[in-house]
Structure 1
Amino acid sequence: MFALIERLHKKDEFVLREVIHAYGGYVKAIVIKVLQPNQTAIEECINDVFHIIWQKSYQFTGNEDDFKKWIGVIAKYKAIDTYRALQNKPKTTELFPSISSVNALPESIVEEKLQKEQLFIKILGLNKTDQEIFLLKYYLGYSNGEIAEIFDISKAAVENRLYRGKLKLKEEMSWEVSR
């Protein structure tokens, strides 16, 4: 096994930069083929691919050629998943509906943005599985059934995790607002 893989297995923080430098163009070419012309989706997908490589590096065993193939497979399937998620989303979604409102005051726009950022930070405070479920559901637009398949749990279990997570987030956000 070559040194790059060994360092990935050991979770050497600097090796990810080397992997991005060595395989970034390769990953980008694969992702662009699937997601062109959506530049935002392409960039997010590329980041997700390298995040998956970092997280799942322990699963890889093989040589340098196999590593490149492994990365290519991850990039291909992540791009396809992203494409499907985009196809399932409503076509007209405003990112910041309050900004488009003529009556919105600049202060309320800033306050709403801060609340969204705080909510995202709180989501990152949930346990790992709940984080992933929330991100798949509310940021990537996956259905409860698709999430259940990904985690190999029942749809009811996904709904329960979402419900309990929302209660926890609501409690934490209301506590922070009242401080």
Structure 2
Amino acid sequence: MQPDLLIERLQQKDERAFAKIYELYSENIFGVIHVIVKDVAVADEVMQDVFLKVWDKAESYTGNKGRFFTWLLNIARNAAIDKIRSKAFKNAQKNEDVETFAFFLENDENLDGKTDSIGIGKWVNKLKPICKRVIDLLFFKGYTQNEAAETLEIPLGTVKSRNRNCLKKLREEIEA
């Protein structure tokens, strides 16, 4: 089904269109939310709220103001930010159980390997600007390769090649 028709059917409260949109976008939206809230259960909860908002506010989307994915991404980003700014979230973070951290203390044979991802930004920043842009879109913002190609205004094959080459360079930087 064509994306415009799918969105139009969603705006008419077609449940099958909603299910298809959920199927198409939920994985990427979850990834974006998870990057912000850093908790799988909270990210899942926020994602469900996001899709309820999409259902309730579908008629407010207009294609002439931007792409549907961008509209959906903005809803997700705002919901995730609202969540981490909420008092309940902040209190829950303060009250983490000691058991949450015991795992790191008990098994420290490869602590550097576990913290590798914490400093990933410094490694990405050493890459060429196009690599930073591709990695940012695909991994930090949750774009599909097709969406990255559209955003960067380059062919899909070029995005795939750059992604592969940039990840190779990133690995080399980390291992150096």
| TM-score interval, smaller chain | 0.3 to 0.5
TM-score (norm 2): 0.48
Which structure ranks higher in relative contact order (CA pairs < 8 Å, sequence separation ≥ 6)?
Answer: 2
